[in-house]
Amino acid sequence: MDQESSFVVVANRLPVDRVTTDAGSEWRRSPGGLVTALHPVLSGQKATWVGWTGAAADRHENDLEATEPFELDGIRIRPVPIFQGEIERYYEGFSNSSLWPLYHDAVESPVFKRRWWDEYRKVNKRFADAAAEVAGPGATVWVQDYQLQLVPAMLRAARPDLRIGFFLHIPFPPVELFMQLPRRADVLQGLLGADLVGFQRPLNAHNFLQLTRHVLGLRPRGDCVELPDGRLVFAGAFPISIDVAEMEKLAASDEVVQRAAKFRADLGKPKTIILGVDRLDYTKGIERRLKIFRELLAEGRLSVPDTVMVQVATPSRERIEQYRSLRVKVEREVGRINGEYGRVGVPAVHYLHQSYSRTDLAALYRAADVMTVTPLRDGMNLVAKEYVAARVDNAGTLVLSEFAGAAAELRQAFLCNPHDLDNVKDSMLRAIHTEGADAARRMRIMRRHLKTHDVQAWAESFLTALDRTGRTA
Ligand code: ADQ
């Protein structure tokens, strides 16, 4: 399928998983917001998704086989092989130990190693080559996220005929933090290969444009910057969302309603269930949230078994030291709380280091009384939006960090500053004790907002803006 797609998505991960079956193994579509959002665009035209399978490529395997395109559920897939050493340096190294912490306000110290950069560039080139290979003349290519910031410029060098968009799912840091990044000019030049660079928040776009001035001496004006060759690069905010209709339907289903009732019963029918659902990541503020719960129990402002906490923490990036030590700290805190405040058969915190099905997640959302989303920094946070969409009963309250992108939209949540523990405590108590009518009013307003700001609207607004670029130059 050489150079025949009119629309190409380039993302670190493919929207498919390799699953083992009785007959051997096969590809299955993995559930995910991005693939849902793009499905209408992907299936409505000749389109290809370029990405990594998630498993280390085998050096002995025939190269051709590892990159052989295939089709699944109407989506064409072009795998990009990544070898073990590259996973360590491109993915775990530069992407997740340098960029991830730096872009999240350096809440953990970023680690920089010179050899990681070479592999980051090498793997980015492989993605760019694959995209150049499948894109038809004048095609639109949409590159996703921080792992692939060099792809836009590499792709433009090979294929100046393409319209290229880039979307960053995580925050983009202010000038003083970004300046720490080794190869900062190369990263900015990489992004400037796009016609449109999209961010979650206007401030992220502003930071990016300021940096083109600060690092590269360009002169950004309004929402764009002109390059020395006269080309215009636009930057803007496109807050991502979820498939609201799908979550509402799932949450209203009999199966979810029954499972939610079962969760409540299994938890001993407490008055208040406080819920947290996060990837086990140091940006999500899980450890502090547990500490706050412990203090509220210690002060007698909450008590077991009237109140219990459920914390689902999806395993994540377990080969990286900072994630391993986070797990130890979280589990130690859970043990401490249960040791001090649990009773036989009634733990204070139910801690689940597991991945859950969509149905179980929806049931947990519906079983909760108070949802706590308290990241120290987060691009958007889809869990907050999923919870709101799932509350088709207009019940339940949301405690939400001001440092999550979602706080700009979900204004009726109980907003808090996760760096100020007393402030989070107050927000949690207010969320627990608020009147039913007030809680319902808040939830209704947030749900109404989400209905018109779903993931389909997000994709459409980005692609419409991308389509307008170039013509105005
Ligand atoms: P993440 O950091 O992964 O995403 P988030 O936006 O909350 O954070 O998305 C997590 C997703 O994983 C949600 O859809 C959630 O349902 C799912 N999930 C969480 N725990 C789970 C579990 N135990 N089992 C199954 N599924 C689970 C990055 C950025 C965010 C940004 C998104 C999208 O860090 O800021 O919102 O990309 O752009």
User: How is residue 74 written in tokens?
Assistant: 């109407």
169 in contact with ligand 1, CB cutoff 6 A: yes
Give the strand order in the sheet containing 272-279: 349-352, 307-314, 272-279, 370-373, 397-401, 414-416
Token pair 């991830």: residue: 100
Give yes or no for a contact between 471 and 410, defined as CB atoms under 8 angstroms apart: no
Alpha-carbon gap, residue 362 to 387, rounded angstroms: 8
Residue 17 burial (CB count, 10 A): 15
Which protein residue's CA is at the shortest distance from atom 17 of ligand 1? 383
Three-state secondary-structure class, residue 181: coil
Instruction: Name the residue of 240, 380, 386, 410 to mutate for ligand 1: max ligand atoms within 8 A of Cβ.
Output: 380
Q: Is there a contact between 33 and 243 (Cβ–Cβ < 8 Å)?
A: yes
User: Which region, left, alpha or beta, applies to residue 460 given φ > 0 means left and ψ of -120 to 50 means alpha?
Assistant: alpha
pLDDT at 2: 61
399 close to 427: Cβ distance less than 8 angstroms: yes
24-29 and 16-21: which strand pairing?
antiparallel
Q: Which of 419, 384, 409, 386 is nearest to 398 (CA)?
A: 384
Query: Residue 472: what pLDDT?
Result: 45
Taking only the tens of pLDDT, the chain with its 473 residues reads 566 899 999 999 998 887 778 877 788 877 666 887 788 778 778 899 999 988 888 876 655 567 788 888 888 999 999 999 999 999 999 999 999 999 999 999 999 999 999 999 999 999 999 999 999 999 999 999 999 999 999 999 999 999 999 999 999 999 999 999 999 999 999 999 999 999 999 999 999 999 999 999 999 999 999 999 999 999 999 999 999 999 999 999 999 999 999 999 999 999 999 999 999 999 999 999 999 999 999 999 999 999 999 999 999 999 999 999 999 999 999 999 999 999 999 999 999 999 899 999 999 999 999 999 999 999 999 999 999 999 999 999 999 999 999 999 999 999 999 999 999 999 999 999 999 999 999 999 999 999 999 999 999 999 999 999 975 44
What local confidence, expressed as pLDDT, does residue 54 receive? 86
Residues 240, 200: Cα–Cα separation, whole Å:
7
Q: Which of 381, 388, 409, 455 best tests ligand 1's pocket when mutated (most atoms within 8 Å of CB)? A: 381
Look at residue 172 in the predicted model and tell me its pLDDT.
98
| CB-based contact 54:16 (threshold 8 Å) | no
**The predicted structure's pLDDT at residue 30:** 78
CA 16 distance to own-chain centroid: 17
From the CA of 242, give the closest atom in ligand 1: 14
Q: Is 369 in the pocket of ligand 1 (CB under 6 A)?
A: no
Encoded amino acid at 219, one letter: R
Cis status of the peptide bond prior to 305, with omega within 30 of 0: yes
DSSP summary character for residue 201:
S
Q: How far is the CA of 381 from the centre of ligand 1 (A)?
A: 6
User: Shortest CA distance to 165 belongs to which of 191, 187, 190, 197?
Assistant: 197
195 lines ligand 1 (CB under 6 A): no
Of 128, 130, 142, 137, nearest to 42 (Cα)? 142
Distances (CA, A) of 94 to 108, 123, 146, 402: 14, 11, 10, 28
Nearest atom within ligand 1 for CA of residue 284:
2
Check if the beta carbon of residue 327 is closer than 8 Å to that of residue 282. Answer: no
Q: Is 354 helix (H, G, I), strand (E, B) or coil?
A: coil
CA 383–ligand 1 middle distance (angstroms): 6
Q: What are the beta bridge partners of residue 232? A: 226
Residue found by looking up tokens 């207009």 in the block: 394
What is d(CA 139, CA 461) in angstroms, rounded to the nearest whole number? 18
What pLDDT is stored for residue 22 in this prediction? 81
pLDDT score of 473: 43
Neighbours of 370 (CB within 10 A): 25
Specify the ligand 1 atom closest to the Cα of 313.
23
Per DSSP bridges, beta strands 163-167 and 224-226 are unpaired
Q: Tell me the CB-side half-sphere exposure of residue 49, using CA atoms within 13 A.
A: 27
Looking at residue 239, its pLDDT comes to: 98
Long-range contacts of 13-17 (CB under 8 A, 24+ apart): 13/51, 13/52, 13/54, 14/49, 14/51, 14/52, 14/53, 14/54, 14/77, 14/79, 15/49, 15/51, 15/75, 16/53, 16/72, 16/77, 17/54
Query: For residue 257, how many other CB atoms are within 10 A of its CB?
Result: 17
Q: How far is the centre of ligand 1, averaged over its atoms, from the C-alpha of 326 (Å)?
A: 18
**Of all atoms in ligand 1, which is nearest to the CA of residue 405?**
35
Cα 411 from chain centroid (whole Å): 20
For residues 419 and 427, give the distance between their C-alpha atoms in angstroms, rounded to a whole number: 13
4 with 134: CB under 8 angstroms?
yes
User: Any residues with CB less than 8 A from the CB of 15 and at least 6 apart, and which?
Assistant: 29, 30, 32, 34, 35, 49, 51, 75
Given the CA of residue 281, which atom of ligand 1 is nearest to it? 2
